[in-house]
């Protein structure tokens, strides 16, 4: 396992259009014992530009992990996931689908598109914080992430 106290900050891209969920996720990650830098894309188009380092995102860091909502404006999360996993430069980035949907078709489609995990957002504030912290801890201290 990795020692989070000695590691470089983890670069996290949150792709989320709901401001409340952005704030909750930010709070949960700040409370985590793991040093991280969170970046936010408010829609699927912005997420793809960030990941491809296009335009205003030319200097953006490569994320170590992406937390991806499915229901996004402009380009929805399913299409973002499909484009990431079809791109030779991006497909190794772990993608955690983090969404309110409990629909079996969304779960199956996300895994068919090679999501690394599918997590339904809890509606309870404390539980939401715990879930975000566990995702962060798992992908940073338990698994080995691909090099940037």
Burial 13-43 (b: 16+ CB within 10 A, else e): bbbbbeeebbebbeebbeebebebebbbbbb
CATH number of the domain within which 122 lies? 3.40.50.2300
- Domain ranges, residue 54: 10-142
**Ranges of the chain with pLDDT below 70:** 1-7, 148
pTM above 0.95, yes or no: no
In a domain, 54, yes or no: yes
- Answer whether residue 118 is part of any domain: yes
Q: Are 99 and 69 in contact (CB under 8 A)?
A: yes
* 78 is a domain residue: yes
- Examine residue 87 and state whether it is found in any structural domain, yes or no: yes
Residues 6+ apart with CB under 8 A from 117: 94, 95, 96, 97, 135
Q: Give the separation between CA 69 and CA 77, rounded to whole angstroms.
A: 6
Structural domain contains residue 59: yes
In a domain, 94, yes or no: yes
Split into its structural domains, the chain has a count of: 1
DSSP H or E stretch at residue 81: helix 77-86
DSSP string for 50-69: HHHT-GGGTTPPPPSEEEE-
């Amino acid at each position: 396992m990795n020692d989070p106290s000695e590691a470089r900050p983890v670069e996290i891209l949150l792709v989320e259009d709901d401001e409340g969920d952005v704030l909750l996720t930010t709070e949960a990650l700040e409370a985590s014992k793991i040093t991280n830098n969170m970046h936010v894309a408010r829609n699927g188009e912005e997420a793809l530009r960030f990941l491809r380092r296009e335009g205003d995102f030319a200097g953006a860091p490569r994320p170590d992990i992406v937390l991806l909502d499915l229901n996004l404006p402009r380009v929805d999360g399913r299409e973002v996931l499909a484009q990431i996993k079809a791109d030779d430069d991006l497909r190794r980035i772990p993608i955690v689908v983090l969404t309110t949907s409990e629909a079996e078709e969304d779960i199956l489609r996300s895994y068919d598109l090679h999501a690394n995990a599918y997590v339904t957002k809890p509606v309870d504030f404390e539980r939401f914080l715990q879930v975000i912290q566990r995702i962060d801890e798992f992908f940073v201290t338990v698994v080995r992430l691909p090099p940037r």
